[in-house]
Amino acid sequence: MCRWTKAMMRGRGGCYKHTFYGITSSQCMEMTPSLACANKCVFCWRHHKNPVGKEWRWIVDQPEMLVEEAIKNHLGMIKQFRGVPGVTKETFDEALTIRHCALSLVGEPIIYPYINQFIQMLHEKNISSFMVTNAQFPDKIDSLDPVTQLYVSIDAGTKESLRKVDRPIFTDFWERFLGSIESLRKKGQRTVFRLTLIKEWNIEEISNYAELVERGQPTLIEIKGVTYCGTSKASTLTMKNVPYHQEVLRFSQMLCDANEFTKANYEIACEHEHSCCVLLANKRFKVDGQWNTWIDYPKFHQLVKEGKEFTAEDYMAPTPSWAIVGSEEKGFDPEQTRHRRTKPYAGQGC
């Protein structure tokens, strides 16, 4: 279970999606319908213990079973938090109602053969869908039904850097990458470029990233410092490759200023300092000086049920002042209590 789900149940803060988009972290379920991926990224937090593949070649579980088992197992973990210090009856009861699903746990969820049926079942239960795809299956993006928010991982700005960072198994990985970006541009709902910054690997390619932004014209751009996941035979990354939050902010502003298109269309909207994460938003989400990066979830579900075409602007909602970049809170919800560890982690040096 996500650490932020546990943290918000204890009143200790929400994740960056709470800050940027207004999800309730304690009501968010992480899962994936596919363990397999077409990349072997150097920063993968699973250390490549999951399978790789160019297509689906496994027994297919039915979407009904996946949704039911995911909910059952998630709630089983939630129930173990009854009585944990900080968990109140109110926060515990709230967490028993799942309202969001992050399809980004591991693997490439978009290659699951019944992904549209799976998404539909989530929406029928009023569970929002945040799907991350690794930009190797443009045809699957084309055939994907509307999700609440669709991400494409933009892990490098050039072909050679992408080869080094993502270590893709497709020989035509760059063409697939560009095709995925172009497919994303056609989507009518909220779309996101997800940049993971790794010092000495992909942080110097500002102009190249800007060209990709102009090609895909995403609604939003998330820029996050890489998370170091420990030593592994699968990666040579160390803490030296992790940028500070101020470096991520500086990169974000440079991307906004990189070319005429990004200058005209994007600004830094939000930050979540705790996650070393910054959000750039299209200026059309700034209405009368007010950012609207949050999501009106009931409105989204209503639009899906109506079955008509709709746009990202149709379900946007105002962003609170504490989430805006430069605020005193740095993206930490003031209704939560910041917990600072005073004891070292097990095995941590002095």
pLDDT tens for each residue of 158-196 = 999 999 999 999 999 999 999 999 999 999 999 999 999
Average pLDDT over residues 217-238: 87
Average pLDDT over residues 33-45: 86
Tell me which of 35-49, 117-131, 238-252 is least confident. 35-49
**Res. 49: pLDDT tops 90:** no
Query: CB neighbours (10 Å) of residue 2?
Result: 16
Average pLDDT over residues 5-24: 96
Average pLDDT over residues 125-144: 96
Please provide residue 32's backbone torsions phi and psi, each rounded to the nearest 5 degrees.
-145, 140
pLDDT at residue 146, rounded to an integer? 96
**Res. 347: pLDDT tops 60:** no
- 3-class secondary-structure state, position 309: coil
The pLDDT mean for the chain works out to: 93
Average pLDDT over residues 247-259: 97
Percent with pLDDT over 70 in the chain: 97
Taken in order 216, 41, 197, 189, is the CA torsion positive or negative? positive
**Res. 209: pLDDT tops 50:** yes
DSSP 236-294: ---GGGPPPHHHHHHHHHHHHTSSHHHHHHEEEEEEEGGGTEEEEEEGGGEETTEE--E
Q: Residue 48's pLDDT band (boundaries 50, 70, 90)?
A: low
Average pLDDT over residues 17-38: 94
What's this model's pTM, rounded to 2 decimal places? 0.94
**Res. 99: pLDDT tops 50:** yes
**Res. 234: pLDDT tops 80:** no
**Res. 93: pLDDT tops 90:** yes
Q: Compute the distance between CA of residue 323 and CA of residue 329 in angstroms, rounded to an integer.
A: 7
Q: Which two tokens stand for residue 103?
A: 């399809």
**Between residues 222 and 105, which one has the greater pLDDT?**
222
Those residues whose C-beta lies under 8 Å from the C-beta of residue 207, and which sit 6 or more positions away, are 157, 258, 259
Query: CB neighbours (10 Å) of residue 160?
Result: 9
DSSP bridge pairs for 271:
278
pLDDT at residue 185, rounded to an integer? 97
pLDDT at residue 349, rounded to an integer? 39
DSSP 320: P
**Res. 231: pLDDT tops 90:** no
Contact 5, 26 (CB under 8 A): yes
pLDDT at residue 102, rounded to an integer? 96
